[in-house]
Amino acid sequence: MKVLIAYSTKYGTTTTCIKRLEKALQGMEVHTVCLEREQPNVRDYDIVLLGGSIYFGRFRPALRQFLKEQHSLLMEKPLGLFWCCGRTEDHEYYGEKHFPKSLRDHAFAHIFFGGTLRIPKSSWIDRFLLHSMRSAILESEINDGEYTPTLPTILLESIDMMATYVREAARRL
Ligand SMILES: Cc1cc2nc3c(=O)[nH]c(=O)nc-3n(C[C@H](O)[C@H](O)[C@H](O)COP(=O)(O)O)c2cc1C
Protein backbone atom coordinates (compact mmCIF):
# COMPACT_ATOMS: atom_id res chain seq x y z
CA MET A 1 0.00 0.00 0.00
CA LYS A 2 1.83 3.09 -1.25
CA VAL A 3 0.78 6.53 -0.06
CA LEU A 4 1.91 9.71 -1.80
CA ILE A 5 1.96 13.01 0.09
CA ALA A 6 2.46 15.78 -2.46
CA TYR A 7 2.56 19.32 -1.10
CA SER A 8 3.56 22.88 -1.77
CA THR A 9 5.15 25.29 0.74
CA LYS A 10 7.13 28.51 0.88
CA TYR A 11 8.32 28.88 4.47
CA GLY A 12 7.84 25.37 5.83
CA THR A 13 4.61 25.48 7.86
CA THR A 14 3.11 22.85 5.57
CA THR A 15 6.31 20.79 5.88
CA THR A 16 5.84 20.80 9.67
CA CYS A 17 2.27 19.53 9.18
CA ILE A 18 3.50 16.82 6.83
CA LYS A 19 6.10 15.63 9.35
CA ARG A 20 3.32 15.18 11.88
CA LEU A 21 1.22 13.36 9.27
CA GLU A 22 4.10 11.04 8.38
CA LYS A 23 4.47 10.12 12.05
CA ALA A 24 0.74 9.47 12.34
CA LEU A 25 0.98 7.17 9.28
CA GLN A 26 3.86 5.13 10.68
CA GLY A 27 3.73 1.55 9.45
CA MET A 28 2.43 2.54 6.00
CA GLU A 29 4.66 3.02 2.97
CA VAL A 30 4.63 6.81 2.61
CA HIS A 31 6.51 8.82 -0.02
CA THR A 32 6.57 12.58 0.49
CA VAL A 33 7.23 14.99 -2.36
CA CYS A 34 7.53 18.77 -2.26
CA LEU A 35 6.02 19.96 -5.55
CA GLU A 36 8.40 22.91 -5.73
CA ARG A 37 11.23 20.39 -6.17
CA GLU A 38 9.81 17.26 -7.77
CA GLN A 39 6.90 16.03 -9.85
CA PRO A 40 5.66 12.65 -8.63
CA ASN A 41 3.95 10.11 -10.85
CA VAL A 42 0.49 9.68 -9.34
CA ARG A 43 0.09 6.32 -11.12
CA ASP A 44 2.72 4.77 -8.82
CA TYR A 45 0.57 5.17 -5.69
CA ASP A 46 -2.55 3.61 -4.15
CA ILE A 47 -3.58 6.66 -2.11
CA VAL A 48 -2.75 10.32 -2.75
CA LEU A 49 -2.71 13.19 -0.24
CA LEU A 50 -2.39 16.61 -1.80
CA GLY A 51 -2.28 20.18 -0.55
CA GLY A 52 -0.36 23.34 0.28
CA SER A 53 -0.42 26.85 1.63
CA ILE A 54 -2.17 30.03 0.52
CA TYR A 55 -0.33 33.12 -0.77
CA PHE A 56 -2.21 36.20 -1.98
CA GLY A 57 -5.45 34.26 -1.83
CA ARG A 58 -4.27 31.31 -3.94
CA PHE A 59 -2.22 28.14 -3.84
CA ARG A 60 1.36 28.51 -4.98
CA PRO A 61 2.03 27.90 -8.72
CA ALA A 62 3.44 24.37 -8.32
CA LEU A 63 0.25 23.11 -6.67
CA ARG A 64 -2.04 24.97 -9.06
CA GLN A 65 -0.24 23.43 -12.01
CA PHE A 66 -0.29 19.95 -10.47
CA LEU A 67 -4.03 20.18 -9.79
CA LYS A 68 -4.64 21.17 -13.40
CA GLU A 69 -2.35 18.65 -15.08
CA GLN A 70 -3.11 15.64 -12.86
CA HIS A 71 -6.84 16.20 -12.41
CA SER A 72 -8.02 13.11 -14.27
CA LEU A 73 -5.46 10.82 -12.61
CA LEU A 74 -6.32 12.23 -9.19
CA MET A 75 -9.97 11.36 -9.86
CA GLU A 76 -8.94 7.70 -10.16
CA LYS A 77 -7.18 7.54 -6.77
CA PRO A 78 -8.42 7.57 -3.17
CA LEU A 79 -7.63 11.18 -2.39
CA GLY A 80 -7.14 13.33 0.71
CA LEU A 81 -6.96 17.13 0.36
CA PHE A 82 -5.51 19.58 2.87
CA TRP A 83 -4.45 23.20 3.05
CA CYS A 84 -2.77 25.78 5.33
CA CYS A 85 -3.30 29.51 5.58
CA GLY A 86 -2.70 32.43 7.91
CA ARG A 87 -6.16 34.01 7.80
CA THR A 88 -8.03 31.24 9.52
CA GLU A 89 -11.36 33.06 9.19
CA ASP A 90 -11.06 32.58 5.40
CA HIS A 91 -9.99 28.95 5.40
CA GLU A 92 -13.36 27.52 4.30
CA TYR A 93 -13.47 29.90 1.36
CA TYR A 94 -9.95 28.92 0.25
CA GLY A 95 -10.62 25.20 0.66
CA GLU A 96 -13.74 25.43 -1.51
CA LYS A 97 -12.47 27.88 -4.07
CA HIS A 98 -9.10 26.35 -4.87
CA PHE A 99 -9.77 22.63 -4.96
CA PRO A 100 -12.11 21.90 -7.89
CA LYS A 101 -15.54 20.68 -6.79
CA SER A 102 -15.03 17.42 -8.69
CA LEU A 103 -11.94 16.63 -6.57
CA ARG A 104 -13.61 17.69 -3.33
CA ASP A 105 -16.61 15.46 -4.04
CA HIS A 106 -14.34 12.58 -4.92
CA ALA A 107 -11.96 12.98 -1.93
CA PHE A 108 -12.33 10.88 1.24
CA ALA A 109 -11.09 13.90 3.24
CA HIS A 110 -10.84 17.68 2.75
CA ILE A 111 -9.19 19.06 5.87
CA PHE A 112 -7.76 22.41 6.98
CA PHE A 113 -4.43 21.88 8.76
CA GLY A 114 -4.20 25.40 10.23
CA GLY A 115 -1.30 27.75 9.56
CA THR A 116 1.07 30.26 11.09
CA LEU A 117 2.06 33.87 10.59
CA ARG A 118 5.72 33.22 11.39
CA ILE A 119 7.89 36.03 10.09
CA PRO A 120 10.47 34.74 7.62
CA LYS A 121 14.06 35.97 7.72
CA SER A 122 14.26 36.47 3.97
CA SER A 123 12.01 38.64 1.82
CA TRP A 124 11.27 42.09 3.31
CA ILE A 125 7.99 42.30 1.42
CA ASP A 126 6.77 39.01 2.90
CA ARG A 127 7.87 40.21 6.33
CA PHE A 128 5.91 43.41 5.85
CA LEU A 129 2.79 41.52 4.74
CA LEU A 130 2.97 39.09 7.64
CA HIS A 131 3.35 41.95 10.12
CA SER A 132 0.24 43.55 8.56
CA MET A 133 -1.70 40.28 8.84
CA ARG A 134 -0.70 39.95 12.49
CA SER A 135 -1.76 43.55 13.17
CA ALA A 136 -5.12 42.95 11.49
CA ILE A 137 -5.81 40.11 13.96
CA LEU A 138 -4.92 42.37 16.87
CA GLU A 139 -7.15 45.18 15.55
CA SER A 140 -10.13 42.92 14.94
CA GLU A 141 -9.89 41.44 18.44
CA ILE A 142 -9.66 44.88 20.01
CA ASN A 143 -12.75 45.92 18.04
CA ASP A 144 -14.53 42.78 19.26
CA GLY A 145 -13.66 43.69 22.86
CA GLU A 146 -11.05 40.95 23.20
CA TYR A 147 -7.49 41.81 24.12
CA THR A 148 -5.66 38.53 23.85
CA PRO A 149 -5.02 38.16 20.13
CA THR A 150 -4.87 34.58 18.99
CA LEU A 151 -2.43 33.95 16.21
CA PRO A 152 -3.16 31.05 13.86
CA THR A 153 -1.58 27.74 14.66
CA ILE A 154 -1.12 24.24 13.25
CA LEU A 155 -4.13 22.06 14.06
CA LEU A 156 -2.59 18.80 15.24
CA GLU A 157 -5.93 17.07 15.74
CA SER A 158 -6.92 17.83 12.13
CA ILE A 159 -3.68 16.27 10.87
CA ASP A 160 -4.30 13.18 13.02
CA MET A 161 -7.84 13.03 11.65
CA MET A 162 -6.41 12.90 8.12
CA ALA A 163 -4.24 9.95 9.18
CA THR A 164 -7.34 8.14 10.51
CA TYR A 165 -9.15 8.69 7.20
CA VAL A 166 -6.11 7.42 5.27
CA ARG A 167 -6.06 4.19 7.28
CA GLU A 168 -9.80 3.75 6.67
CA ALA A 169 -9.30 4.33 2.94
CA ALA A 170 -6.47 1.78 2.91
CA ARG A 171 -8.73 -0.82 4.56
CA ARG A 172 -11.32 -0.31 1.80
CA LEU A 173 -8.80 -1.05 -0.99
C1 LIG B 1 3.46 37.05 1.15
C2 LIG B 1 2.43 36.27 1.91
C3 LIG B 1 1.12 36.24 1.47
C4 LIG B 1 0.15 35.52 2.19
N5 LIG B 1 -1.15 35.54 1.76
C6 LIG B 1 -2.09 34.91 2.50
C7 LIG B 1 -3.46 34.99 2.11
O8 LIG B 1 -3.82 35.58 1.11
N9 LIG B 1 -4.37 34.37 2.90
C10 LIG B 1 -4.01 33.69 4.03
O11 LIG B 1 -4.89 33.16 4.71
N12 LIG B 1 -2.71 33.56 4.39
C13 LIG B 1 -1.75 34.15 3.66
N14 LIG B 1 -0.44 34.07 4.02
C15 LIG B 1 -0.08 33.27 5.21
C16 LIG B 1 0.39 31.85 4.82
O17 LIG B 1 -0.63 31.14 4.16
C18 LIG B 1 0.76 31.14 6.12
O19 LIG B 1 1.88 31.81 6.70
C20 LIG B 1 1.09 29.67 5.93
O21 LIG B 1 1.21 29.07 7.20
C22 LIG B 1 2.38 29.49 5.12
O23 LIG B 1 2.63 28.13 4.91
P24 LIG B 1 4.02 27.64 4.25
O25 LIG B 1 5.12 28.11 5.16
O26 LIG B 1 3.89 26.15 4.23
O27 LIG B 1 4.11 28.21 2.88
C28 LIG B 1 0.53 34.78 3.34
C29 LIG B 1 1.88 34.78 3.75
C30 LIG B 1 2.82 35.51 3.06
C31 LIG B 1 4.25 35.51 3.52
Q: pLDDT tens digits for 111-136?
A: 999 999 988 888 899 999 999 999 99
Separation of CA 94 and ligand 1 centre (Å): 12
Phi, psi dihedrals of residue 104, rounded to the nearest 5°: -65, -40
CA distance 112 to 89: 11
Domain positions in the chain: 2-116+153-172, 119-151
How many Å lie between the centroid of ligand 1 and the Cα of residue 10? 8
- Compute, in angstroms, the gap from residue 162 CA to the centroid of ligand 1: 21
φ, ψ at 137 (rounded to 5°): -65, -45
What mean pLDDT, rounded, does the chain reach?
95
Query: Residue of the nearest CA to atom 6 in ligand 1?
Result: 55
- The residue whose CA has the least distance to atom 29 of ligand 1 is 55
For residue range 61-120, what is the model confidence (pLDDT) as tens digits? 999 999 999 999 999 999 999 999 999 999 999 999 999 999 999 999 999 999 999 888
The band of 140, judged by pLDDT with boundaries at 50, 70 and 90, is confident
How much is the pLDDT for 141? 79
Helix axes 156-172, 13-24, angle to 10 degrees: 50
What separation in Å is there between the alpha carbon of 53 and the centre of ligand 1? 6
> pLDDT over 90 for what percent of the chain?
85
* Percent of the chain surpassing pLDDT 70: 99
Superfamily of domain 2-116+153-172: Flavodoxin domain (3.40.50.360)
Q: Could you tell me if 85 and 115 are in contact, meaning their C-beta atoms sit under 8 angstroms apart?
A: yes
Q: What residues line ligand 1, using a CB cutoff of 6 Å? A: 9-14, 53-57, 84-87, 90, 115-117, 126, 129-130
pLDDT at 143: 81
Q: Which residue has the higher pLDDT, 59 or 142?
A: 59
